[in-house]
Structure 1
Amino acid sequence: MARVPSGRVHNLINIAAYSVLAAGALVATRQDLLSVTPAQGLNFTLAFAAGTFLLSPDLDLAEGRVDSKRHWGLLGFLWVPYGMMFSHRGLSHTWILGPLTRLAYLGVLIALVVGLLRFVLPDLTLPPVPQLSAEVLAPFGVGYYLSQWLHLIADGMRPDHGVRRGYRKLRRR
């Protein structure tokens, strides 16, 4: 099996790719070839950074030393169950479902915290959930998925990675 990049190299690949994309988007915007609002640029950047540094596919190794888990600081332990649920380079390293597993897991963590806060402090007023439009969500989705796909490309994972494995299992039966 080919050697895959370390977490540091993955981060450098994503930073380099982001730099090229940002420069290209800036030039294209200045030449009126592309229209990117500051809010869209910020949303893309935040999602790309979160996908690179906090929600990397390697969180499936979170019971060990993983850069993404360390970037969570004291809260890194929250990703250990995720690492125990998914085998390395399995479902968590697929192109569509893999990134969704991390978002779903994060959503469950947030829901548990909110539920606990409401139970312990029933009078606490939490901020409302903002209404999100496609114009806001699209840059988040593109930034997040692009950061994930760059990781998978560097690991040598093809877009049909999970599909091929599942198809082989079905053929054996």
Structure 2
Amino acid sequence: MPSGRVHEVINIGVLGLASAVYWVYQNEVDVSQPVAVAFVGGFLVGTFLITPDLDLAEQQVRAKGRWGWLGWFWVPYGWMFAHRGLSHTWVVGPLTRLLYLGAMGVVLYWIMAAVAGYLGLELDWQAQLKAPPQEILWALGLGYYASQWLHLLADGIWPDSGSLLRSSKRRR
């Protein structure tokens, strides 16, 4: 199986090729630059920060290291998911990382709100947050999922999800 560095090289190579194709055909395709940038952003986040290998977060994983001192944040995720188990599935795997990140964000918000309340302050971020347009959200999600799928393909995990089992049986 490829190392984290190899996964990154594969993803960046594919992104570079896709970007070149977009550059050449941008007048023929109906994808605006903000949507393309959102796709690239989601793809880069999925390649470097939120990868399927975060299920190994107790170890030295490149993505965990990129979180700096917040790398500890992913250790419980590694405890919840066996390596190349549910976290390495095509639809649910990437979703587990997004849901985990969202849940940890909610917990962090509750902690910050409790501390702010104790200090006599009030957190009102809801009034300041505005959701981006729907096409931007879709592009972010698609870019993120595309990066995850390239990772899984490099690991030999195909969309039919049985090919990894079949290939491991053939090796015996």
Superposed pair shares fold, TM > 0.5: yes
Aligned to 1:125: 124
Deviation digits for residues 10-49 of structure 1 (CA, Å, limit 9, x no counterpart)? 00000000000111111111xx220222211221111101
Matches within 5 A, 1:1-173: 4-29=1-26, 32-122=27-117, 123-126=122-125, 128-161=128-161
Unaligned runs of 5+ in 1: 166-173
DSSP-derived class of the 2:159 partner? coil
Q: Hey, what's the Cα distance between the residues in 2 that align with 1:140 and 1:111?
A: 21
CA offset at residue 71 of structure 1? 0.8
The one-letter code sitting in structure 2 at the alignment partner of 1:39 is: P
Residues 43, 146 of structure 2: 8 Å contact kept: yes
Cα 1:111–1:162 shift into 2, 3 Å? farther
The one-letter code sitting in structure 1 at the alignment partner of 2:22 is: A
CA offset at residue 164 of structure 1? 9.0
Q: RMSD of aligned C-alpha atoms?
A: 1.8
Q: Hey, what's the Cα distance between the residues in 1 that align with 2:123 and 2:133?
A: 28
Percent identity, aligned pairs only, is 47
The one-letter code sitting in structure 1 at the alignment partner of 2:13 is: A
Number of aligned positions between the proteins = 160
DSSP-derived class of the 1:43 partner? helix
